[in-house]
């Protein structure tokens, strides 16, 4: 009976996950020609082409997608057998993208509680806009992502919910009755900033971007100091210990569409559990949030 060496499957998965033969070679500690040779050998054993040569970059053919899914399962079983024999677990890195508005105190607590149950899991967290995040999920560069947009999300998510955008200020905040509103925010791609600008424009008021930062701690400190006002999802205001400006002399803000996504064909129990933990922490109380959607599948070429 024909047997497929697991090293060939591991090389295939590395190429797909890293979207590069060169990066796969570096990660595996072998040369790029060796990677190419292993892929050719695997294709010979299977009797089919795994990659779509007509597409740019590293793109799987339809049969390649099926092989990669099966390869992940086989490698997981192989690694589990080895861990059972050695009594040790391999450290697993989960790659997350969490919108800056949600990167407050609640997420670290969720991760800390999760790691008590899954001590061999580590986290790498980044923040990016919606388009970049979905692209990275499709390309296999992320395992889990939490995104926020001003419009309904166009792809299926594991969890979907709504949250209300609210103005946030401090007792030291001073606004001119008719002048530009001082605004602190994450940047141009931030849906909260976009909501603020659009709402102010609707009533003929401008805004001054007095502080733009990728650090939620810096933005919160700026609000507390009275440097300017900020827009956040209501749930994040609760996490940060800030107070929503319910009677603000400013226009009404819209609801925000929030979603939690997993990479395609992702069924690792630890990642599914983490996704549900994060969603439970971020969703507003029942009655405001939308119903939970089915398991996510963000499709892509690899």
Whether residue 228 is contained in a domain is answered as yes
Q: Are both 75 and 96 inside the same structural domain? A: no
**Does the pLDDT at position 289 exceed 60?**
no
Quote the mean pLDDT of the chain. 82
Return the CATH number at 251.
Answer: 3.40.190.10
Q: Are strands 144-149 and 255-262 parallel, antiparallel or unpaired?
A: antiparallel
Total domain count for the chain?
3
Q: Are both 249 and 265 inside the same structural domain? A: no
Distance CA 2, CA 182 (A): 69
Q: Are both 82 and 96 inside the same structural domain? A: no
pLDDT over 70, % of the chain? 87
More confident residue, 98 or 88: 98
pLDDT bucket at 211, cuts 50 / 70 / 90:
very high
Distance CA 144, CA 139 (A): 12
Q: Are both 204 and 265 inside the same structural domain? A: no
Whether residue 294 is contained in a domain is answered as no
pLDDT bucket at 100, cuts 50 / 70 / 90:
low
Q: Are both 169 and 251 inside the same structural domain? A: yes
Whether residue 300 is contained in a domain is answered as no
Q: Are both 200 and 55 inside the same structural domain? A: no
pTM above 0.75, yes or no: no
Q: Are both 143 and 177 inside the same structural domain? A: no
- The CB density around residue 94, as the number of other CB atoms within 10 Å, is 19
> Which of 40-54, 118-132, 149-163 reaches the highest mean pLDDT?
40-54
Give me 66's structure tokens. Answer: 């099926």
Return the CATH number at 26.
Answer: 1.10.10.10
Q: Counting Cβ atoms within 10 Å, is residue 25 exposed (0-12), middle (13-18) or buried (19+)?
A: buried
State which of 86, 109, 134 marks the end of a domain. Answer: 86
Q: Are both 249 and 262 inside the same structural domain? A: no
Sign of the CA dihedral 198, 199, 205, 211?
A: negative
C-beta separation of 265 from 298 below 8 A: no
pLDDT at residue 241, as a whole number: 64
For 33-77, how does the pLDDT look when each residue is reduced to its tens digit (9 = 90+)? Answer: 889 999 999 999 999 999 988 877 788 888 888 898 889 888 888
More confident residue, 274 or 294: 274
Distance CA 242, CA 176 (A): 22
Q: Are both 184 and 116 inside the same structural domain? A: no
Give me 159's structure tokens. Answer: 């969890």
pLDDT at residue 180, as a whole number: 92
Whether residue 289 is contained in a domain is answered as no
Whether residue 1 is contained in a domain is answered as no
Whether residue 301 is contained in a domain is answered as no
Q: Are both 149 and 262 inside the same structural domain? A: yes
Q: Are strands 144-149 and 121-126 parallel, antiparallel or unpaired?
A: unpaired
Per-residue pLDDT, averaged over 137-160, amounts to: 83
Whether residue 112 is contained in a domain is answered as yes
Domain of 27, in residue numbers: 6-86
């Amino acid at each position: 009976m024909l047997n497929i060496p697991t090293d060939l499957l591991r090389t295939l998965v590395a190429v797909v996950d890293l979207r590069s033969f060169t990066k796969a070679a570096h990660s595996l500690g072998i040369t790029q020609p060796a990677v190419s040779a292993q892929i050719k050998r695997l294709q010979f054993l299977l009797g089919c082409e795994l990659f779509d040569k007509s597409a740019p970059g590293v793109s799987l053919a339809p049969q390649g997608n099926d092989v990669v899914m099966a390869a992940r399962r086989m490698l997981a079983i192989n690694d589990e057998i080895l861990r059972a024999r050695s009594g040790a677990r391999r450290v697993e890195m989960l790659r997350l993208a969490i919108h800056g508005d949600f990167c407050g105190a609640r997420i670290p607590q969720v991760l800390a509680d999760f790691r008590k149950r899954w001590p061999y899991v580590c986290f790498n967290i980044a923040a990016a806009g919606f388009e970049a995040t979905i692209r990275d999920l499709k390309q296999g560069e992320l395992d889990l992502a939490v995104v926020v947009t001003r419009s309904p999300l166009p792809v299926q998510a594991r969890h979907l919910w709504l949250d209300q955008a609210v103005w946030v200020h401090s007792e030291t905040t001073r606004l001119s009755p008719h002048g530009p509103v001082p605004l602190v925010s994450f940047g141009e791609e931030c849906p909260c900033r976009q909501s603020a600008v659009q709402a102010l424009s609707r009533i003929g008021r401008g805004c001054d971007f007095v502080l733009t930062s990728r650090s939620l701690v810096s933005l919160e400190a700026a609000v507390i100091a009275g440097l300017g006002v900020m827009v956040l999802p209501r749930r994040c205001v609760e996490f940060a210990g800030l107070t929503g400006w319910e009677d603000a002399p400013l226009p009404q803000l819209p609801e925000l569409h929030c979603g939690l996504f997993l990479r395609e064909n992702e069924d690792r129990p630890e990642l599914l559990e983490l996704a549900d933990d994060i969603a439970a922490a971020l969703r507003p109380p029942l009655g405001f949030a939308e119903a939970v959607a089915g398991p996510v599948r963000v499709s892509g070429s690899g």
